[in-house]
Amino acid sequence: MDNLTAAYFLTVVVPVFNEDASLPYLFQSLKDYKAKASVRLCVLFVNDGSSDNSLSLIKEACKSDRDFFYIALQRRSGLTGALKAGFTHAASPWCAYIDADLQTYPEDFELLLPHVNEAALICGLRTKRHDSGWKKVQSRIANRIRNAVTHDGFTDTNCPLKLIRSDLARRLPLFSGMHRFLPALTQLFGEKAMGIPVRHKERAHGSSKFSFKNRALPGLCDLLAFIWMRRRFVDPVVAQDNLQTQEPTLR
């Protein structure tokens, strides 16, 4: 069967885990943006094993909007797994990523889209972040440590507003914390990544799934995983093949 997302230029991937409080606002915000977007886009919700009413709300939203689609994972895979699943199942030329908590504005994809011919990955860079002082300090330290290892040149890789060329997105290796290393992975594949300033706002509905406790040690492990993967990285390029359709040979 045909993948319906192939009819669009852009698939906005939205990982969802227990966000039933924020979903109604998210649906409306995405509808509003979709109506005035500069490209034809659809939205792909990835339900990551939610235990609340998220999946039911997503199904209802998809029934009422022909440009809304969903996949539901069999078990929780975490943000990286949900994001990778969305990239894998999107058939449009480009994918986008936004969090369900609406701390970034879908309209700001319009700041990234003009650069699709300049880079394979266009990342939002949050300006005037509306987070607690402690959270800003954590992020600043984490970004400095990550950048010292990856040398990707990015000051904010955790911004949940990104565009990525779909063929590249499907090639990305899956490991925990992959979403934090998208610029470095893009560069590892010999592609260009660039950052564009975008807006940021406080979470208005629901609660954050991340804290210092569940980010510090896992973040360090993710960094070690990236170091190991970079040293073992292989990206074979085919020079010749005979796989194209040919007339059958009679024998």
In tens, the pLDDT along 80-114 reads 999 999 999 999 999 999 999 999 999 999 999 99
* Amino acid 190: pLDDT: 92
Stated pTM of the model = 0.81
Q: Which two tokens stand for residue 87?
A: 């990239």
Kindly tell me the burial class for residue 126, based on how many C-beta atoms sit within 10 Å of its own C-beta (0-12, 13-18, 19 or more): buried
Residue type, 42: C
Kindly tell me the burial class for residue 218, based on how many C-beta atoms sit within 10 Å of its own C-beta (0-12, 13-18, 19 or more): middle
Residues sharing a CB contact under 8 Å with residue 118, sequence separation 6 or more, in sequence order: 192, 194
* Amino acid 201: pLDDT: 84
In tens, the pLDDT along 153-208 reads 787 778 889 999 999 999 988 777 788 889 989 999 999 999 999 998 876 665 55
Q: Which residue has 């490991």 as its token pair?
A: 175
* Amino acid 173: pLDDT: 85
* Amino acid 132: pLDDT: 54
